[in-house]
Amino acid sequence: MVRVARTPAFKAEVWRRWKAGENLGQIAKALSAGRTVLSALVEGSGGIAPRARCRSRLALTLGEREEISRGLEAQRSIREIARHLGRAASTVSREIVRNAPLRWMYRAHRSERRAWDRALRPKPCRLAQDPILARLVAQKLELDWSPQQISGWLARAFPNQESMRVSHETIYKTLFVQARGVLKKELTAHLRRGRMVRQSKQNPGRVGGRIVDAVSIRERPAGVEDRAVPGHWEGDLLVGGANQTQIATLVERHSRFVMLVKVPSRDTQVIVKALARNIRKLPKHLRRSLTWDRGSEMADHKSFSLATDAKVYFCDPRSPWQRGSNENTNGLLRQYFPKGADLSGYSQAQLDNIAMKLNLRPRQTLGFETPAHRLMACVASTA
């Protein structure tokens, strides 16, 4: 089995299936291979398929090496062999010296294999060549910044220094491929999902409930859609272990500013009261509307509107994507609140601290500006 796993065709099929989203168990069953072999192959590369090797257009081919071997067997001179191949005599001479102690011992296939092995010269990665940049990247990872945020921030912070640029893909590869020996493996714990290998993205859906007198998102003013005006929020519950614990999440559409609210239960009156208490802390022009999913926790939405002067709109059934900013933020929050975790032990102060971390992280959708800076600019311009 191990011998089969070493073939290029086998490896190519493993990586094709891995990129398509199959897990190691599915791949092992489809290819009749052991999971230990597949794990060594995939996890050893951090879930990132190695780049396919290719031959330089200037290198000698196997056919040319066979011509050299036949020419030596026929006792032709090096210049004659080179002239027949259309190569420089020095090229043929070096080829023979490298691969045979004596001319008559030269063999084409053995020389081809040795040349292919010698051509494998791993280059140091970008971060290995620049310790200062690597240290800065590691510091931002420890602050729970994503590689994409780090890459975007570097471009903004050092606009005139090309040496201070690194792509998010390079950061991911340096984290996942530990053979590069630059970023510590422990830093992967600061990634959003804490994974040790690159995996295909999954898009789970959600099922909504029915709300009495719910105002559809389709009746929401068009001005809310373009995000030009601040004060329009999206909300949902982030659910913990066994669906018994939860946190209310609120995201402002214009700035992506995040608020987290501790809620002891899913009772609609408890939820509405907690949300209203937090929303009322905002200036009136920053609490214009709230778009919620179809969860029954907002059944008492009229009381919320009465207490805050903010209109409530509801997504269509089975359409959580209609409040995309909140869905994306809930994904970011899973870095701090893994699925299945008990959320009841977090105090409001702890939730505020986590929200502050998100609000101080640069966002790609904001041109790598932070949500806190964007919201402060809105407040200042209005004042």
Specify the pLDDT at position 382: 66
Structure tokens at 35: 């999971």
pLDDT: which is higher, 246 or 39? 246
185: confidence class by pLDDT, cuts 50, 70, 90: confident
The answer on pLDDT for 114 being more than 90 is no
Q: Do the beta carbons of residue 282 and residue 230 sit within 8 Å?
A: no
Domains of the chain, residue spans: 2-43, 62-118, 126-190, 217-382
Q: Do the beta carbons of residue 311 and residue 279 sit within 8 Å?
A: no
206: confidence class by pLDDT, cuts 50, 70, 90: very low
Question: Per-residue pLDDT averaged across 35-52, rounded?
Answer: 74
pLDDT in tens, 311-335: 999 988 778 888 889 999 999 999 9
Whole-model pTM? 0.52
pLDDT in tens, 346-381: 999 999 999 999 999 999 989 999 999 999 888 777
160-190 b/e with 16+ CB inside 10 Å = b?
eeeeeebeeebbbbbbbbbebebbeeeebeb
Percent above pLDDT 90 for the chain: 33
The full DSSP string for 157-191 is: H-TT-GGG---HHHHHHHHH-GGG-SS-GGGGGGS
Q: Nearest Cα to 94, choosing from 62, 57, 60?
A: 60
Structure tokens at 356: 């502050």
Looking up tokens 């494998």 gives 120
Percent above pLDDT 70 for the chain: 89
Helix (H, G, I), strand (E, B) or coil at 325: helix
Looking up tokens 């879930």 gives 47
Cα–Cα dist 205/150, whole Å = 29
Report the sign of the C-alpha dihedral through residues 20, 241, 188, 133, in that order: positive
Structure tokens at 117: 């092995």
pLDDT in tens, 232-265: 999 999 988 766 789 999 999 999 999 999 998 8
CATH of domain 217-382: 3.30.420.10
Q: Do the beta carbons of residue 149 and residue 362 sit within 8 Å?
A: yes
Specify the pLDDT at position 199: 64
Cα separations (Å) of 212 from 270, 293, 295?
Answer: 18, 13, 11
The answer on pLDDT for 7 being more than 80 is no
